[in-house]
Amino acid sequence: MKQQQFRFRLITLFLIALLGAALLGGLRTISFTGPSGDLRSAILRLTGQETASPSPGVSVPPAASVSPDAEASPGAAGSPAVSPAPSSDPELSTLGLGEIGPAVSPTSTLLPLSEALSGYFSAAESLAPSDSAGTGSSPEPPAAP
Amino acid sequence: MNRKRHSPGGSLCAAGMLFYFLAFLLPAVRDASMTGYILAVAVPCLIFLGSYMLPHLVPVDRLLMTLTNLFCAMGVLLRFSMSPSLAIRQAVCFGIGILVMVCSAAMMQRVRPGAGFLLPAAAISLLLTGLPLLGKNSVGLPGWMELGQSSLQPGELGKPLLIPVLAGLLSRRRLLPALGFCAALLSLLLLQRDLCGALILGGTAVLLFWGATGNWILLILGLAAETALAGAGGLLLPSFRLSFLVPPVSPADTESAALPLQNCFQLVSSGGLWGAGLGLSSPQEIPSGQSEFSFALLCHSFGFIAGVCFLMLYAALLWRGSSAARTARRSFPGLGAMGAVILIGLQTFAAVSSTLQLLPLTGAALPFISSNETSLIACLGLVGLIHGVSGMNEIALEEDASLAMLERSGA
């Protein structure tokens, strides 16, 4: 009877291990870029890497950086030349998730999308020579990643 | 005294009741849905009846009962996000399942593994398993048959009977009849092209044989046979795999049949860690009748963390059932409870793994949560076997305590 109990215990542990294996296999689903709160965003929030954005009050989407070439093209006020974020970030690749999706996805920002977009266009306007005189606030250009 | 020691599920039950009350009430207020109001009262009432009242009437394990009720209520909630009528149907099946569970527990406590029980039970379970071969299958999935206006899986209803049969034969060391019974069941399932059902049942039989006998050669041979069966069915015979893809839009068209699988995986991943939110998910992404996608819908609505929590609750249920099996005084109830635990565990693994694309889409229903009503009733019947054994253990403990008191008073 004791041996049978031991075997029952082993079988139960085996079943629980199967469920654990399924769980570990399921972790790869959330490495996809979801609409909100994927694993990458959670890790970035926890490690504070996502807060490497410009000064508070200035909302520039972290997924894009404004190119200096924007000043040389005055006609491009509404559509600034934007260079996407580099596709491979050494800090992010250490997380083991860098292979899937862009290095910093638009969904991994703490800002709401509407706020980020408004900051995006206000930054572009400030960089344009024709609009820079009348505007009250001119956000600093973000640091390159 | 013992009952108090074995009932740590009180706070879990209260939290679950509050959660489900609010979970049904809030969408009901938002959509002004009368069904939502009814379910907001009915589902917590079912949980209360099952977890608080039932342990006073029949000897059952309260923690196990609470866990089961929470799973079943989640099934109703997920159906409610798809369609209120589906939720009502699921809640009715939940209630029927509780009755089946009580009957199953009573059967486990009363029957003895003699020929008077084993022969009729084996015949009924074989008949139920083979019944779809005779009936009309309008669903297109293996194991289903049409009955009146609805379809059901009679083989699932045979599960609460076949486990006691197998346990009875093994407890009496009738290995050859047990092997023959398993072979007959597997043949019937394979004739219906139900490879997943055959693998789950075969795995249960192999582990139960090893649990009863401790024979390593039998275990290795059984696992090898399982692997060969899976390989032959899944790889060498592509028609087998196609038969498990859901929905059976066009059996000849592999690409279109694989489409729901992609949706299912994307549904889990799009939920992220915290989910799309209650009532904000998009269950229309998956076909309403596909019970296999319950885990995907759970992860999409409540997030992957909720999925992890539910898997942990499943593990707790398995451990609790196993502890009932381990503390059984006799071999028959112990093997019966363990068989139920193995069957539920393997079915959970198959359902979750196929949802997460670790296995081919098998068609296994997630126990208790799935919208497969026959599976829900059968799983509650299986839990009833564990409750029966747990009740027997409690009675034995109380008898021991009273004997010890008598001895002390005599001394």
Give the pLDDT confidence of A117-134 residue by residue, as tens digits. 555 455 555 555 444 444
One-letter amino acid of B327: T
Residue of B nearest to A17 (CA): B315
DSSP H helical ranges for B152-253: 154-157, 159-171, 175-191, 195-213, 216-231, 238-244
Q: What pLDDT sits at residue B296?
A: 82
B266 to chain A: which residues are within 8 Å by CB? 32
CA angle B41, B45, B50 (to 5 degrees): 160
Reported ipTM: the value is 0.86
More confident residue, B137 or B193: B193
Is A34 in Cβ contact with B272 (below 8 Å)? yes
Q: What chain A residue is nearest to B213 in terms of C-alpha separation? A: A4
The angle subtended at Cα B84 by Cα B79 and Cα B85, nearest 5°, is 95
Closest partner residue to A7 (CB to CB) among B211, B349, B358 is B211
| Nearest Cα to Cα of residue A54 among A126, A3, A134, A128 | A126
Whether B90 contacts B81, CB under 8 Å: no
| B221-253 per-position pLDDT tens digit | 999 998 888 877 766 655 555 444 443 333 343
Chain A touched by B280 (CB under 8 Å): no
Per-10-residue mean pLDDT of chain A, 145 residues long, equals 87 93 78 48 54 41 40 38 40 38 41 52 52 40 43
User: Looking up tokens 């706020």, which residue turns up?
Assistant: A115
* Contact (CB<8Å) B318/A5: no
B309 touches chain A (CB under 8 A): no
Q: Which of B97-111, B214-228, B283-297 has the lowest mean pLDDT?
A: B283-297
Secondary element (H or E) of residue B400:
helix B373-410
From residue B102, how far is each of B97, B98, B176 by CA, in Å? 9, 6, 32
Whether the Cβ atoms of residue B193 and residue B243 lie closer than 8 Å to each other: yes
Query: Which pTM was predicted?
Result: 0.74
Question: In chain A, what residues touch B318 (CB-CB under 8 Å)?
Answer: 12, 15-16, 19
Touching check for B322 and chain A: CB below 8 Å? yes
H or E segment to which residue B309 belongs: helix B304-326
**What is the tens place of the pLDDT at every residue in B107-130?**
988 888 887 889 999 999 999 888
Given a contact cutoff of 8 angstroms between Cβ atoms, the answer to whether B268 and B355 are in contact is yes
Q: Quick one: average pLDDT of B376-383?
A: 93
Q: What angle do CA B200, B201, B206 make, to 5 degrees?
A: 100
Please provide the distance, in angstroms rounded to a whole number, between the alpha carbons at the two ends of chain B.
24
Listed in sequence order, the DSSP H helices in B32-114 are: 34-48, 54-57, 62-82, 84-110
Residues of A in contact with B212 (CB under 8 A): 4
Residue A17 forms contact with B (CB below 8 Å): no
Distance from A101 to chain B by nearest Cα, in Å?
A: 13
Beta bridge partners of A66: A82
pLDDT for the residue numbered A7: 92
- For B268, other C-beta atoms within 10 Å of its C-beta total 26
Query: Which among A22, A14, A21 is positioned nearest to B341, based on CA atoms?
Result: A14
Residue-wise over B47-75: b if at least 16 C-beta within 10 A, else e? bbebbbebbeeebbbbbbbbbbbbbbbbb
End-to-end CA distance of chain A: 65
Q: Which is more confident, B328 or B149?
A: B328
Residues 6+ apart with CB under 8 A from B171: B113, B212, B330, B331, B332, B335
Q: Report pLDDT digits (tens) over B384-398.
A: 999 999 989 888 888
Give the distance from residue B29's alpha carbon to the nearest chain A alpha carbon, in angstroms.
Answer: 26
Cα dihedral A18, B101, B61, A7 in deg (nearest 10)? -40
| Phi and psi, residue B92, nearest 5° | -65, -45
Could you tell me where the DSSP H helices lie in A33-107? 39-47, 90-93
- What is the pLDDT at residue B163? 93
In this complex, do A7 and B210 lie within 8 Å of one another by their Cβ atoms? yes
Q: How many other C-beta atoms can be found within 10 angstroms of the C-beta atom of residue B153? A: 27
Q: Rounded distance, CA B297 to CA B285, Å? A: 9
User: Is A38's Cβ below 8 Å from some Cβ in B?
Assistant: yes
